[in-house]
């Protein structure tokens, strides 16, 4: 029997969810969708979301092997997060919106591009992909005549701002917020977002789902790419345990099916652990505290998988060679556009420099470059430089 209130009462937010605190620019309610459904839909229909298809997760997009892109990663995160939110009775639409938006601020070439931009823009406050996500959804997406950005609810914006937990230690006195990107600190101050507390539980679910998703699928992609093999995984206790369990199951699986079973089993194990643990922690968690958690055993296991991936995948010589070239492409472009803003495409800052011939603001350049896909960045480099690394 469905205990939820009748349909019209659910329109503002999801079943059981408190009403949204609203949007930065007031809008009338939708007759057919909850506020968080509208947030999710706006994210799916925005240009930055579509460009995730052409952005690196670990491997460059366009390789035929079916490796994850940032878009397929995002869809997997949303699936895992929705499953957890549903069983815990949280708002699925808000959880999905937060998951789908969580990587919108990633520049081309993933963390390599982020590092390159951060270095190139050191004099302009650096670059942080979470701060960039906030810029994308609050000002860079242009789709509406009355405001810039997507005008998402404050709950979605708050969740994106603090997606990895409190950004400022609780004991930090109010006022200065060191080490927080300026964009986030300014936004939080303007809109009353407390950076010392945890974000809503839906945002906590999205963050946990991100970890679960990439641990499992980076392992799967790394195995498929031959960066390491199944026997190498025996050094990680949780993976050895899963592989032993599969071997004892009585089914004889070839390596290919074993890889699929490993990824599937990992996701199930971590999701079930988070659900069981959070079922106990959520009822006593107050807003602003941590309500979504894993057992210490699986938290440690997740850290061990990450350590393995760092050493055996992200630092693999094959990937390092490509990353060095990707770093060069982004550095070249940032340096060039700051010096020669006239080369920015029409409407992307060329006319915004204070004086003809004066350097472009680092932020203008960052906004343009971060908005490019991997393919777009390579194309821009080819347009402006005599030779472009082939990223092999
Ligand atoms: Mg992610």
pLDDT score for 330: 97
81: its two tokens = 């997060």
pLDDT score for 9: 32
User: How far, in Å, from the CA of 103 to the mean position of ligand 1?
Assistant: 6
User: How far, in Å, from the CA of 99 to the mean position of ligand 1?
Assistant: 8
pLDDT score for 164: 85
User: How far, in Å, from the CA of 305 to the mean position of ligand 1?
Assistant: 16
Is a pLDDT exceeding 70 seen at residue 378?
yes
pLDDT score for 19: 73
User: How far, in Å, from the CA of 340 to the mean position of ligand 1?
Assistant: 33
User: How far, in Å, from the CA of 132 to the mean position of ligand 1?
Assistant: 14
User: How far, in Å, from the CA of 102 to the mean position of ligand 1?
Assistant: 6
User: How far, in Å, from the CA of 172 to the mean position of ligand 1?
Assistant: 28
Q: Name the nearest CA neighbour of 105 among 73, 70, 77.
A: 70
Tens of pLDDT, residues 239-274: 999 999 999 988 889 999 999 999 999 999 999 999
Section 196-215 average pLDDT? 96
Is a pLDDT exceeding 60 seen at residue 172?
no
Q: Can you spell out the DSSP letters for 41-88?
A: HHHHTSHHHHHGGGSBSSSPTT-TT---BHHHHHHHHHHHHHHHHHHH
Q: 258 near 246, Cβ under 8 Å? A: yes
User: How far, in Å, from the CA of 161 to the mean position of ligand 1?
Assistant: 14
User: How far, in Å, from the CA of 124 to the mean position of ligand 1?
Assistant: 25
Section 51-55 average pLDDT? 91
Is a pLDDT exceeding 80 seen at residue 182?
yes
Q: 366 near 127, Cβ under 8 Å? A: yes
User: How far, in Å, from the CA of 74 to the mean position of ligand 1?
Assistant: 6
User: How far, in Å, from the CA of 73 to the mean position of ligand 1?
Assistant: 7
User: How far, in Å, from the CA of 6 to the mean position of ligand 1?
Assistant: 35
Section 348-373 average pLDDT? 71
Average pLDDT of every residue of the chain: 89
Is a pLDDT exceeding 80 seen at residue 149?
yes
pLDDT score for 252: 87
72: its two tokens = 């397929």
pLDDT score for 171: 57
pLDDT score for 362: 85
User: How far, in Å, from the CA of 214 to the mean position of ligand 1?
Assistant: 7
User: How far, in Å, from the CA of 106 to the mean position of ligand 1?
Assistant: 9
Section 325-345 average pLDDT? 94
Tens of pLDDT, residues 151-162: 999 999 999 999
User: How far, in Å, from the CA of 5 to the mean position of ligand 1?
Assistant: 34
**Which of residues 20 and 119 earns the better pLDDT score?**
119
User: How far, in Å, from the CA of 181 to the mean position of ligand 1?
Assistant: 19
**Which of residues 90 and 62 earns the better pLDDT score?**
90
Distance CA 388, CA 35 (A): 45
User: How far, in Å, from the CA of 9 to the mean position of ligand 1?
Assistant: 33
Is a pLDDT exceeding 50 seen at residue 374?
yes
Q: Which residues of 155-188 are buried (b: 16+ CB within 10 A; e: fewer)?
A: bbbbbbbbbeebbbeeebeeeebeebbebbbebb
Is a pLDDT exceeding 90 seen at residue 346?
no
pLDDT score for 261: 97
* Cross-strand partners of 153: 23
Four-CA torsion 78, 84, 85, 88, nearest 10 degrees = 180
**Confidence label for 49 from pLDDT (cuts 50, 70 and 90):** very high
pLDDT score for 178: 56
């Amino acid at each position: 029997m469905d205990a939820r209130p009748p349909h019209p009462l659910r329109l503002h937010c999801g079943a059981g969810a408190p009403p949204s605190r609203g949007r930065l620019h007031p809008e009338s309610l939708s007759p057919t969708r909850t506020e968080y459904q509208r947030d999710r839909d706006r994210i799916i229909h925005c240009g930055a979301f579509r460009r995730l298809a052409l952005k690196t997760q670990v491997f460059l997009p366009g390789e035929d092997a079916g490796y994850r892109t940032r878009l397929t990663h995002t869809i997997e995160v949303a699936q895992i997060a929705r499953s957890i939110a549903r069983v815990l009775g949280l708002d699925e639409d808000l959880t999905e919106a937060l998951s789908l938006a969580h990587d919108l601020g990633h520049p081309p070439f993933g963390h390599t591009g982020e590092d390159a931009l951060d270095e190139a823009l050191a004099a302009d406050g650096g670059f942080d992909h979470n701060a960039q996500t906030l810029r994308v959804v609050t000002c860079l997406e242009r789709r509406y005549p009355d405001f810039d950005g997507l005008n998402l609810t404050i709950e979605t914006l708050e969740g994106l701002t603090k997606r990895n937990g409190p950004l400022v230690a609780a004991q930090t006195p109010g006022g200065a917020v060191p080490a927080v990107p300026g964009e986030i600190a300014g936004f939080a101050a303007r809109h009353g977002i407390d950076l010392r507390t945890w974000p809503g539980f839906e945002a906590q679910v999205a963050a946990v789902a991100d970890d679960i998703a990439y641990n499992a699928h980076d392992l799967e992609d790394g195995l498929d790419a031959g960066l390491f093999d199944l026997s190498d995984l025996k050094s990680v206790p949780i993976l050895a345990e899963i592989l032993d369990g599969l071997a004892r199951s009585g089914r004889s699986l070839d390596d290919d099916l074993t890889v699929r079973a490993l990824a599937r089993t990992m996701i199930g194990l971590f999701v079930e652990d988070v659900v069981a643990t959070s079922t106990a922690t959520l009822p006593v968690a107050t807003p602003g505290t941590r309500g979504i958690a894993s057992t210490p055993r699986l938290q440690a296991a997740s850290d061990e998988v990450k350590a393995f991936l760092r050493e055996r995948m992200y630092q693999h010589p094959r990937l390092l060679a490509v990353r060095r070239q990707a770093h060069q492409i982004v550095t070249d472009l940032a340096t060039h556009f700051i010096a020669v803003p006239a080369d920015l495409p029409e409407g992307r800052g060329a006319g915004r420099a204070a004086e003809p011939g004066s350097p472009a603001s680092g932020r203008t350049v960052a906004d343009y470059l971060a908005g490019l896909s991997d393919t777009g960045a390579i194309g821009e480099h080819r347009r402006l430089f005599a030779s472009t690394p082939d990223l092999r």
